[in-house]
Amino acid sequence: MVLVHGNPETDAIWNPLVEELGRDDVVRLSPPGFGIPLPDGFAGTYLAYRDWLERELERVDSPVDLVGHDWGGGHVVNLVMHRPELVRSWASDALGLFDPDYVWHDLAQVWQTPGEGEQLVDTMMGGTVEDRTAQMTALGLPTAVAGSIATHQGPEMGRAILSLYRSARQPVMAEAGRALENARARPGLSLLASEDPYVGSDEIRRRAARRAGAQTEHLHGLGHWWMVQDPARGATALTRFWETLG
C-alpha cells in the first residue's frame, strides 16, 4: 500500500488512518517540497510530479495499492492515466480536478496569480512553527498532526506550491483529463468527501469517476481531511474496496 499526500502537508496527515488500518506494508511517499527537500533542477510542474511518482513506484515491490489525497490524489490519477501497469489498484479523493468543468478554488487562483501568490505563500509559510500550527488547526486538523506539518513548512514548500499550481492553470487540467478513460486499466476508487470545498462538486467528482471506471465511496459529512476527521470510516472504505480485488 502506497500513500501520497498533498498541499500544504507532510505525510503526518496519514497518521490516524495508518493506525486505523493496522497494516505493516504501508509506504508513504512525500512529493518533493512537501515534507522532503526539492531536488536540484526539479521543475515542480504537475507533470514533473507525475514522473517523480512513476520513478518511486518502479522501486516499490508489487502489487501496489496506491492512495492519494489532495494534490497527491491528482498525482495518483496522472500516474494511472500514464502508467497503469505500475499499480494493482488506485484510490483518489481528487478526481474532480480532471473534469472539464472544474474551476480552481479561490486559494489556488491566488497562488496562480504572480505577485499575489508570492504574498500569500509568504504569509502562510512564514511566522513561527506555533503560528503555522495554529493556522493548520484552524483549517480543521488536530493539533498533533498540524504541529508535525508546520515544522516542515517554509519558503521551500512555498516555492513548490507556486510552481505546481501555476503549471496546472486551466485549461491544463481539463486537457489532462481527456485521458481519464486510461485509468480504467486498473480498479479505481473515488473517495467523495461531501464537505470538501476544494475538489469540485459531487456531480463533477461522480462524472470523473464514471469516466475513469472508478467506484465511488461517498463519505457523507466529511471534509477535505477525512483521513483525520474519521479515520475509521476512511479505513473501512479502503478495505472494502481492496477486498473486491481478489
Taking only the tens of pLDDT, the chain with its 246 residues reads: 999 999 999 999 999 999 999 999 999 999 999 999 999 999 999 999 999 999 999 999 879 999 999 999 999 999 999 999 999 999 999 999 999 999 999 999 999 999 999 999 999 999 999 999 999 999 889 999 999 999 999 999 999 999 999 999 999 999 999 999 999 999 999 999 999 999 999 999 999 999 999 999 999 999 999 999 999 999 999 999 999 997
Number of domains in the chain: 1
pLDDT at 61: 84
Asked if the structure places residue 157 within a domain, the reply is: no
Asked if the structure places residue 135 within a domain, the reply is: no
Query: Residue 195 sits in a domain of what CATH number?
Result: 3.40.50.1820
Asked if the structure places residue 166 within a domain, the reply is: no
Sheet of 27-29: strands edge to edge? 27-29, 2-4, 65-68, 89-92, 188-193, 214-219
pLDDT at 139: 87
Asked if the structure places residue 217 within a domain, the reply is: yes
For residue 12, give the DSSP letter: G
pLDDT at 240: 97
Asked if the structure places residue 163 within a domain, the reply is: no
pLDDT at 140: 86
pLDDT at 82: 97
Residue 230: half-sphere exposure toward Cβ, Cα within 13 Å: 14
Asked if the structure places residue 124 within a domain, the reply is: no
pLDDT at 99: 97
pLDDT at 173: 97
Query: Which strand (E) or helix (H) includes residue 3?
Result: strand 2-4
Asked if the structure places residue 17 within a domain, the reply is: yes
Asked if the structure places residue 130 within a domain, the reply is: no
pLDDT at 45: 98
pLDDT at 163: 98
pLDDT at 3: 98
Residue 193: which domain range? 2-103+172-243
CA 14 – CA 131 distance, rounded (Å) = 22
